[in-house]
Amino acid sequence: MILEVAILNVKPGRAEKFENDFQIASQYISSIEGYVKHSLKKCIEVDSQYILLVQWVSVEAHEVGFRQSSQYQKWKALLHDYYDPFPQVLHYEDLKIEI
């Protein structure tokens, strides 16, 4: 399982509209093969900052399956204008250590 993590800094005064559009955009990402689940969390300390967490079966499911899809074009058109700066997106994998 791969976890995609992106810190989203939304332009001031646009948080409510962003949240509404994100809810609409969720249908695009969740329709992709290899998608597992996602969540959006709002920062308590930093106004208009969010963290997006998406679980994928592989990096390729995100980088190829989603980013090269028509659904991504819809996601991009709906959400990318909200960000300043544009977010860095990183992928994480589980470690094989017992806790």
CATH of the domain at 17: 3.30.70.100
Specify if 74 maps to a domain: yes
Q: Is residue 16 part of a domain?
A: yes
pLDDT 10s digits, 47-57: 999 999 999 99
Average pLDDT (85-91) is 97
Query: What is the rounded average pLDDT for all residues in the chain?
Result: 97
Q: What is the pLDDT of residue 99?
A: 73
> 58 in a domain, yes or no?
yes
- Distance, CA of 88 to CA of 8 (rounded, Å): 9
Q: Please indicate, yes or no, if residue 98 is contained in any of the structural domains.
A: no
Q: Which residues, listed in sequence order, are joined to residue 7 by a DSSP beta bridge?
A: 51
Q: Are 55 and 3 a contacting pair, CB within 8 Å?
A: yes
Q: How many domains does the chain have?
A: 1
Question: In terms of residue numbers, what domain contains 42?
Answer: 2-93
Is residue 72, in this structure, part of any structural domain at all?
yes
Q: Is residue 68 part of a domain?
A: yes
